[in-house]
Amino acid sequence: MCGIVGYVGPQQALDVVIEGLRRLEYRGYDSAGVAVVAGGEINSRKKAGKLANLEADIASNPLERSSTGIGHTRWATHGAPNDVNAHPHLSEDGSIAVIHNGIIENFASLRDKLIGEGVSLRSQTDTEVVAHLLAKQVLVTPNLGDALREVCQSLTGAFTLVVVQKDNPDLVVAARRNSPLVVGRGQGENFLASDVSAFIAHTRNAIELGQDQVVEITPNSVKVTDFQGNPVDVVEYEVTWDAAAAEKGGYDLFMLKEIAEQPKAVADTLLGRIDLSGKVSLDDLALDKKFLKNIDKIIITACGTAYHSGLIAKYAIEHWTRIPVEVELASEFRYRDPILTPTSLVVAISQSGETMDTLMAMRYAREQGAKVLAICNTNGSTIPRESDAVIYTHAGPEIAVASTKAFLTQIVALYLFAMYLAQTRGTGFGEAASEIALELASMPNKIDLVLDTAQGVKKIAEEIHNANSILFLGRSVGFPVALEGALKLKELAYMHAEGFAAGELKHGPIALIEDGLPVFVIVPPVEDELHDKIVSNIQEVRARGAKTIVLAEEGDESINEFADHIMRLPKCPSLMQPLLATVPLQIFSCEMATVKGYDVDQPRNLAKSVTVE
Ligand code: F6R
């Protein structure tokens, strides 16, 4: 939430910052702003709305050339998304500019104190107080880094703060607590950003910043300390993907590109981790075998789409390992006094690795003595760094706000972990292991087949785009797929959609069925014991007037007479079907949003990487 960029070096800072903001716009798009340091002044410009508004404003009235700049794209928390509340926020004398991601929880008392001291605040944001506090602090400790360290000690909540000062043309200073910040180390230039995509076109060398740290960058130096000023050893790493991976690459939409990348994302997540005999190698998994053998309970915690991947994985983990699994929304988990012991394993799933609800849930679990395994797509992000172990998904950068390829790779990573656990504990599933390995290995090709045939959903979207509501039904692993289909539709097409366990219909939701109501049904493979039951469910809703859109495997003719539309899926075992059935639902929601004229990559009110609770 909120994208942040900082730059010092020989390039025109404004260009680097705007380019970085363009790559980070998926993090928030309520308003955007920049500040550059030039001629002993700070020049700032900010505009409500998307980055394009800011760019148009700057084009009509250019800012001065500068070697030092910061930029921000906002997802509003405190104060409406207007020009005044947009970042940067300046001190009263204009000597200091601040951008911020997060929430300063004690801002109200700080604001009241500042007002009492005669400071006039211009905005409704929590951020502005930091600019005024810093302006006061540099009078006491003139070094900007020292001043920021001091101010940070008076703040509570979550923040990444990035600061420039008018008399310091080659310095950008930043602080981090609970919100993301990475450093890009270049040659004679350095970068700061919420994530590496902002500077990947300039350098692949990145530095992770830890909790409660301050970084000072000049063109030729990067200095990291804790809030007390003690030097900190940093971890530098190389980003494995390049700028092209974060571009649309010929697609109209990031989401369509990311949907199309799913076969590769799944293949990359499997690569080198499983052989065709079913042997799983997770060599870098930092959980010792003794602990794995003693686990007596697994709790999966995550949000949104990542939570749905956990719901799917529960079926596989319990089936293959016989360890009980609970799946819990991260925002609920730590508020219910969960029972955790040293033999509990908490699995935290997060594409971004920064989701605050998930981060807080896993921290809580560790405090209670449980071990935490992260399933994550973002190298060096906070959740894997604070976990006992991590399995990275190799989906590549996911830019569209609606998660697609990360979801499929989360399921794959969790399945690999389940197999590894079964293997380690000797809950051998013998012959089955090699069958599962073969099936997993065939998934990239099968997803490709689904992509080839799923384009028909465009016609369905055109036909039903005026519906008031759409329902999704599934059973077993098809149930979380139904939840995911409904979530995608809500977030992209802004319409009521709900996923139900098909068996629950008769206990209430069937009352919703009326003439013409579109109902998607995910039908398990013919040999699944639930197949015939769900075919009955299709008949029940059809008899009450529903328009049925049925996802069923090739050759399943039993559904033909009850389906208004059929989407065919390649044959596979039930546990693998979510990797195929989800894909047409992703494309459908994308098409629905397009037909309705909505912004697919940046849906309203949302942001990628939700760094507030
Ligand atoms: C939905 C979506 C969100 C995320 C959720 C968790 O399409 O993208 O529901 O899945 O905010 O995000 P991560 O996985 O980054 O923790």
Kindly report the number of other CB atoms within 10 A of residue 335's CB atom. 10
Residue 613 lies in a domain: no
- In single-letter form, the type of residue at position 528 comes to D
- Count how many domains the chain has: 3
State yes or no: pLDDT of 430 exceeds 70.
no
- The pick from 610, 611, 612, 613 for probing ligand 1's pocket by mutation, whose C-beta has the most ligand atoms within 8 angstroms, reads 610
Residues 422 and 560 placed together within one structural domain of the fold: no
Question: Does residue 358 contact residue 372 with C-beta atoms inside 8 Å?
Answer: no
Residues 428 and 470 placed together within one structural domain of the fold: no
Task: Identify which of 209, 193, 234 has the alpha carbon closest to the alpha carbon of residue 69.
Answer: 193
Beta-carbon-side half-sphere exposure of residue 362 (alpha carbons within 13 Å): 30
pLDDT of the residue at 156: 94
pLDDT in tens, 285-342: 989 999 999 999 999 999 999 999 999 999 999 999 999 999 999 999 988 899 999 9
Nearest CA to ligand 1 atom 9: 304
State yes or no: pLDDT of 134 exceeds 70.
yes
Task: Identify which of 179, 155, 141, 264 has the alpha carbon closest to the alpha carbon of residue 1.
Answer: 179
pLDDT of the residue at 111: 96
Distances (CA, A) of 554 to 310, 439, 567: 27, 16, 9
Rounded mean pLDDT, 90-114: 95
* Cis peptide, bond prior to residue 88, ω within 30 of zero: yes
Q: Is the dihedral of CA 120, 124, 126, 131 positive or negative?
A: negative
- 258 is written with which tokens? 């990311």
Question: Does residue 24 contact residue 73 with C-beta atoms inside 8 Å?
Answer: yes
Q: Output the ligand 1 site: residues, CB below 6 A.
A: 303-306, 350-352, 355, 358, 402-403, 487, 491, 609-610
Q: Predicted confidence band at 283 (pLDDT cuts at 50, 70, 90)?
A: confident
Q: Print the domain residue range for 506.
A: 452-596
pLDDT of the residue at 79: 84
Give me ligand 1 centre to Cα 541, in Å. 31
Residues 405 and 472 placed together within one structural domain of the fold: no
pLDDT of the residue at 370: 97
Helix, strand, coil abundance in the chain, percent, nearest 5: 40, 25, 35
Give me ligand 1 centre to Cα 609, in Å. 7
Residues 419 and 524 placed together within one structural domain of the fold: no
Beta-carbon-side half-sphere exposure of residue 585 (alpha carbons within 13 Å): 41
Question: Does residue 271 contact residue 394 with C-beta atoms inside 8 Å?
Answer: yes
pLDDT of the residue at 247: 83
- 451 is written with which tokens? 């992509």
State yes or no: pLDDT of 429 exceeds 80.
no
Q: Is the dihedral of CA 137, 141, 145, 149 positive or negative?
A: negative
- 327 is written with which tokens? 């799946």
Q: Predicted confidence band at 427 (pLDDT cuts at 50, 70, 90)?
A: confident
CA angle 384, 388, 392 (to 5 degrees): 40
Ligand 1 atom nearest to 355, measured from its CA:
16
pLDDT of the residue at 428: 66
Give the end of a domain, one of 229, 246, 263. 246
Residues 221 and 324 placed together within one structural domain of the fold: no
Residue 177 lies in a domain: yes
Listed in sequence order, the DSSP H helices in 454-477 are 457-464
pLDDT above 70 as % of the chain: 100
Residues 381 and 499 placed together within one structural domain of the fold: no
pLDDT of the residue at 246: 81
Active site residues: 2, 608
- 221 is written with which tokens? 């130096």
State yes or no: pLDDT of 432 exceeds 80.
yes
State yes or no: pLDDT of 1 exceeds 80.
no
Q: Report the alpha-carbon distance of residue 337 to residue 357 in Å, rounded.
A: 16
- 389 is written with which tokens? 């172990």
Residue 155 lies in a domain: yes
State yes or no: pLDDT of 93 exceeds 80.
yes
pLDDT in tens, 164-183: 999 999 999 999 998 889 99
Residues 480 and 580 placed together within one structural domain of the fold: yes
| Least confident interval from 254-258, 520-524, 602-606 | 602-606
pLDDT in tens, 537-570: 999 999 999 999 999 999 999 999 999 999 999 9
Residue 611 lies in a domain: no
Q: Directed axis angle between helix 478-493 and helix 578-595, to 10°?
A: 20
Rounded mean pLDDT, 71-86: 89
State yes or no: pLDDT of 610 exceeds 90.
no
Q: Report the alpha-carbon distance of residue 375 to residue 80 in Å, rounded.
A: 35
Residue 361 lies in a domain: yes
Give the end of a domain, one of 205, 230, 246. 246
Q: Report the alpha-carbon distance of residue 419 to residue 290 in Å, rounded.
A: 16
Residues 400 and 258 placed together within one structural domain of the fold: yes
Ligand 1 atom nearest to 351, measured from its CA:
14
Give me ligand 1 centre to Cα 176, in Å. 22
Residues 79 and 177 placed together within one structural domain of the fold: yes
Beta-carbon-side half-sphere exposure of residue 155 (alpha carbons within 13 Å): 30
Give me ligand 1 centre to Cα 356, in Å. 11
State yes or no: pLDDT of 608 exceeds 80.
no
Q: pTM of the entire structure?
A: 0.87
State yes or no: pLDDT of 613 exceeds 80.
no
Rounded mean pLDDT, 15-24: 95
Q: Report the alpha-carbon distance of residue 506 to residue 524 in Å, rounded.
A: 19
Residue 125 lies in a domain: yes
pLDDT of the residue at 29: 85
pLDDT of the residue at 380: 83
Q: Predicted confidence band at 593 (pLDDT cuts at 50, 70, 90)?
A: very high
Nearest CA to ligand 1 atom 5: 304
CATH of the domain at 374: 3.40.50.10490
CATH of the domain at 176: 3.60.20.10
Residue 341 lies in a domain: yes
pLDDT of the residue at 80: 87
Residues 363 and 484 placed together within one structural domain of the fold: no
CA-based end-to-end distance of the chain: 11
- The pick from 352, 390, 410, 490 for probing ligand 1's pocket by mutation, whose C-beta has the most ligand atoms within 8 angstroms, reads 352
pLDDT of the residue at 78: 82
Residue 610 lies in a domain: no
Residues 271 and 414 placed together within one structural domain of the fold: yes
Rounded mean pLDDT, 16-34: 92
pLDDT in tens, 349-386: 999 999 999 999 999 999 999 999 999 999 888 999 99
Give me ligand 1 centre to Cα 289, in Å. 31
Give the end of a domain, one of 246, 277, 306. 246
pLDDT in tens, 237-265: 999 888 888 888 889 999 999 999 999 99
DSSP 111-161: HHHHHHTTPPP-SS-STHHHHHHHHHHHHHS-SHHHHHHHHHTT--EEEEE
Nearest CA to ligand 1 atom 10: 305
Mean residue pLDDT of the chain comes to 94
State yes or no: pLDDT of 611 exceeds 80.
no
Across 209-313, the runs of DSSP E, i.e. the strands, are 213-218, 221-226, 235-238, 297-302
Residues 267 and 404 placed together within one structural domain of the fold: yes
pLDDT of the residue at 456: 86
